[in-house]
Each structure stands twice: as C-alpha cells, then as structure tokens.
Chains A and B, each alone.
Chain A
Amino acid sequence: SQTIHQWPATLVQPVGSPLSLECTVEGTSNPNLYWYRQAAGRGLQLLFYSVGIGQISSEVPQNLSASRPQDRQFILSSKKLLLSDSGFYLCAWSKGGGNQPQHFGDGTRLSIL
C-alpha cells in the first residue's frame, strides 16, 4: 500500500531563517506531488505541484520554492522566512491528474517568531 510521510510535524523558526520541509511517498512510482498551505480555519492554497522529477509548477509567487530531486521526494524551501509564512503545510500525492483523488500527509505546523 502507498504511504506518505512529512516531517517535521511541528517547527518553530525565527524570521529570516531558512526552511526545508520534506515529503516522501512510498509504494507508488511517478506520482503527482503537491504542496499546500492552510491558514487557520481556512481552505487549502496550492503552492506548488510536480508531475515528474525536476518539473515544478508554481501557483503563487512568494517567498517559497520547491524541488523534486527524486521521483518520490518533494521538498519545500525558503532562504529567509517571513512572518506571513506561518501556517499548516500539507503535502499530497495523486496517481494521475485532477480526475484522481489526492492523498495527504499529516502536515507540518510552522510557526515563525
């Protein structure tokens, strides 16, 4: 069966510090991968998605970047965090496009001080 892992579960970082959140998927090959951010009590905002190694599509211009160095690894990064980067970050995978369900990790709660 397929599983998705996100880490860390919680993270507290000072403003201006770098960020690296990692997501890995097991049990499937060539998945579509997604990074979302969720503000408290709100819906999901799509940040990045990837349909293959090295292929990244950005949905929202911002202080973040994403990379996919391996087929089942998706990384969310920032060189300098802003207060507005606080939120709940979710990684998801799907097999195929929008006509397939997405499967989510348990998220990373990021607090910027």
Chain B
Amino acid sequence: SQQGEEDPQALSIQEGENATMNCSYKTSINNLQWYRQNSGRGLVHLILIRSNEREKHSGRLRVTLDTSKKSSSLLITASRAADTASYFCAKSRSNDYKLSFGAGTTVTVRA
C-alpha cells in the first residue's frame, strides 16, 4: 500500500504560531496532495506538488517534497483559529486514477 503516514497525529498550537506536519510514503509517486477537513465536512484541496518539484507555496501554506526521503511537509505560518482542522496527505502513482490518503494530522489552534 502507498498509504502515507502523517506525523504528528495531533498538534495544538497558539494562534500566531507556525504548524508543521509531515507525511511519509513507501513507493514512488507521481504527485502528492494536501487536503484540509473541517469537522463533519468534506475535504478541501490545498496544494498539489509533483514529484519533480521540491517546494510550493499558497498564501500561508508551504509544502516541501523530498523524494529521496519519501517525505513531504506542510507548514502553516501565522496560524489562525480558522486553521483548526484535520490535514491529510494523499499520494498518486503514475497512470493511476486513485489517491491514497493517510490518517491525517488534527491541528487545534488556540486563541
């Protein structure tokens, strides 16, 4: 299975601090995607990073990918209460319609 593992499982930070979560995987990938899920809702796509890319930014989000270590990280800078959610990484192999989701990191931002 390509299912990645997010680390940590849970993270609690103060508003304004940065939050970093990691995702590891076992086999080669075509791309890696990060999603956010607010409690009781569907997932929202955040960033897609391709296997030939090393870093991508979107607003306060920064994603890195290290294919030699088979790992990715998501950094949320200057966190806000609205960032409280679960964050999932999802891996895609070449020529595959499917994504393999990890178990997620639950982030709580304290006001």
How many whole Å from B66's CB to the nearest CB in chain A? 20
B96 and A104 contacting across the interface, CB-CB below 8 Å: no
Collect the chain A residues with CB atoms within 8 Å of residue B92's CB: 97-99
Contact with B along A94-113 (1 / 0, CB 8 A): 10011111111111010000
Q: Mark B77-104, 1 if CB is under 8 A from A, else 0.
A: 0000000000010101101111111111
**B interface bracket (residues with beta carbon within 8 Å of A):** 20 to 34
> How many residues does chain A have at the interface if contact means C-beta atoms less than 8 Å apart?
27
Closest B-chain residue to A98, C-beta based? B92
Residues of B within 8 A of A102 (CB): 33, 43, 45, 90, 99
Q: Is the CB of B101 within 8 A of A43?
A: yes
Taken together as a complex, chains A and B put the C-alpha atoms of A98 and B101 apart, in Å, by 12
**Which residues of chain A are within 8 angstroms of B102 by Cβ–Cβ distance?**
43
**B contact set with A: CB distance below 8 Å:** 3, 30-31, 33, 40-45, 48, 50, 88, 90, 92-93, 95-104, 106
A interface, CB within 8 angstroms of B: 6, 32, 36, 41-44, 46, 49, 51, 57, 59, 90, 92, 94, 97-107, 109
